Amino acid sequence: MNHPMPPETSEAPLAPGQRLPRSERKEFSAEALQEIAAIAAKYPDKLAATLPALHIAQREFGFTSLDAMKAVAKALSIPEGHVFGVASFYTMYQKQPVGKYHLQVCTNISCALSGGAQLLEKVCQRAGVQPGEGPSKDGLWSVEEVECLAACGSGPCLQVNHDIYDEYVDERKLDEIMQACKRGEYREWAK
Ligand code: FES
């Protein structure tokens, strides 16, 4: 299916009072464009490639900035409004910069019953930032309170960047994980 080329958008906020931060990168790399084209070729409608293209954008741009969304629309030749709608619906697309290690704590019911709120508090104390506050001063950490991570039987559950800890995370385990991050033993957010 053909879609009209996205219109040139203004810098208008997405919602009243909301203005997204800019990212340093404005365009996809040639490799990312090839990756997106290969994904889009699998579908009869390019709109179907929006989600994977946004993941690639998040990886390349560091977060799902307005420029990243525009680049996705341009790469797929689909309306920018569609990309904005998809990106703003899913919380997994970070619309604000995050730290090198984005610590996501589940506080849904099963995790709440086994100490999710307490784990979130400990994570915030150690990271030195509150949920949604953006990266810590050293750029290492950011924290997010998230919905169910699909590991309800072994919570409270923690996800570091794209890796879920589906095992009980107590203070000792949390310290181990954060120390390992500092030693560079974990994949960084945008790599
Ligand atoms: S409720 Fe926390 S992983 Fe499901």
Report the atom number in ligand 1 closest to the C-alpha of 166.
3
Question: Ligand 1 atom closest to Cα of 151?
Answer: 3
| DSSP assigned state of 46 | G
Q: What is the pTM of this model?
A: 0.83
pLDDT in tens, 38-54: 999 999 999 999 999 99
- Distance (angstroms) between ligand 1 centre and the Cα of 66 equals 30
- How far is Cα 23 from Cα 57, in angstroms, rounded to an integer? 11
Q: Measuring from each residue's beta carbon to the nearest atom of ligand 1, which residues come in under 6 Å?
A: 106, 108-111, 148-152, 155, 157
pLDDT digit string (tens) for 130-184? 998 989 999 999 999 999 999 898 889 999 998 887 778 889 999 999 999 999 9
Q: How far is CA 67 from CA 63, 74, 149, 175, in A?
A: 10, 10, 28, 36
User: 72: phi > 0 → left, psi -120 to 50 → alpha, else beta; which?
Assistant: alpha
pLDDT digit string (tens) for 79-123?
999 999 999 999 899 999 999 999 999 999 999 999 999 999 999
Ligand 1 center from residue 112 Cα (angstroms) = 8
Please report the domains of the chain, with CATH numbers, ordered by start residue.
Answer: 1-93 (no CATH), 101-182 (3.40.30.10)
